[in-house]
Amino acid sequence: MDADLERIAEWLGRAERCVVFTGAGVSTESGIPDFRSAGGVWSRTKPILFDEYCRDSQAQIEYWRQRAETHLQFADAEPNSAHRAFARWEAEGRIRGVITQNIDGLHQIAGSRQVLELHGTARKVGCLDCGTLYDAQAMLARFQQTQAVPRCDRCGGLTKHATISFGQALPVDVLRQAMSWSREADLFLAIGSSLVVTPAADLPVLAKESGARLVIINREPTPLDSLADLVLRRAIGACLEGVDSLLPAAPGATVRSEAS
């Protein structure tokens, strides 16, 4: 018996407005490295600031070169048991949705529908002038063939992945919605995030201050651990499989006969 997993299952079973908040740690078991762990993205590449990207053609080339490399990491990645659990919990009416800092699109591939992508998506490339979106794979192929930064087909503008770079503002409507989900949550599960990147990391605080129970599942300590009702420093996939197996029948699910 695992008392911590049982508590989470009990809280989740009773919650009416549970929100799941995810970071890069949710995707490491799908083979996508996170940012800050050893061997993570930052031990190998230097991030290009938004401002630098907009004005410096060398930075643009370097950015696309880096994206071509990281695209290979997630293009064939598949959702893991954590992504699948969230999709199932949403379909069963147990959670309101997922707020994610991830840009890999694996929540949607797993079947989650209510996903707020705070940092955008690396599956698309957008025109910085007119906003037209393109499939990232097709644009990367274009970059690899020409070694030039792809321009927008519609207006000739500069394109960039539809992710939020450092120094670039978060999409206001997405952030606003994430704040209202957090404020209204009765249970907030922060999973696989170092909880140091703001404003994303302010959301668990907002939820807690608005009355939610806060659960943090992350291998390493986070600055919000002391605020949480429960902290689990363990591998995410196994934890969520455990919680899932302990959940009471989903609301609306056929009640199994208890007769012996």
37 binds, among Zn ion, ligand NAD, none (CB under 5 to 8 A by kind): ligand NAD
27 binds, among ligand NAD, Zn ion, none (CB under 5 to 8 A by kind): ligand NAD
29 binds, among Zn ion, ligand NAD, none (CB under 5 to 8 A by kind): ligand NAD
Q: What angle do CA 37, 20, 241 make, to 5 degrees?
A: 75
Residue 165 binds ligand NAD, judged by CB under 6 A: no
Residue 185 neighbours by CB distance under 10 Å: 29
Q: How far apart are CA 119 and CA 101, in angstroms?
A: 5
10-26 per-residue burial string, b: 16 or more CB within 10 A, e: under 16: ebbbebeebbbbbbbbb
Decide: 141 and 126 in contact? Cβ < 8 Å: no
Contacts 24+ apart (CB under 8 A), 42-46: 45/69
- Binding test (CB under 6 A) with ligand NAD, winner from 63, 104, 134, 188: 104
Site for ligand NAD in 196-235 (CB under 6 A): 197, 218-220, 235
At residue 78, what are phi and psi to the nearest 5 degrees?
A: -120, 150
Distance of closest approach, residue 37 Cβ to ligand NAD, in angstroms: 5
Site for Zn ion in 91-130 (CB under 5 A): 127, 129-130
Taking CB atoms, the residue at the shortest distance from ligand NAD is 25
**Catalytic site residue 83?**
no
101 binds, among ligand NAD, Zn ion, none (CB under 5 to 8 A by kind): ligand NAD
Residue 117 binds ligand NAD, judged by CB under 6 A: no
Decide: 184 and 228 in contact? Cβ < 8 Å: no
Kindly report the three-state secondary structure assignment for every residue of 66-130: HHHHHHHHHHCCCCCHHHHHHHHHHHCCCEEEEEECCCCCHHHHHCCCCEEECCEEEEEEEECCC
Site for Zn ion in 125-144 (CB under 5 A): 127, 129-130, 132
Distance of closest approach, residue 237 Cβ to ligand NAD, in angstroms: 7
Contacts with ligand NAD, residue ranges (CB under 6 A) = 23-25, 27-29, 32, 34-37, 40-41, 101-104, 119, 192-194, 197, 218-220, 235-236
The catalytic site residues sit at: 119
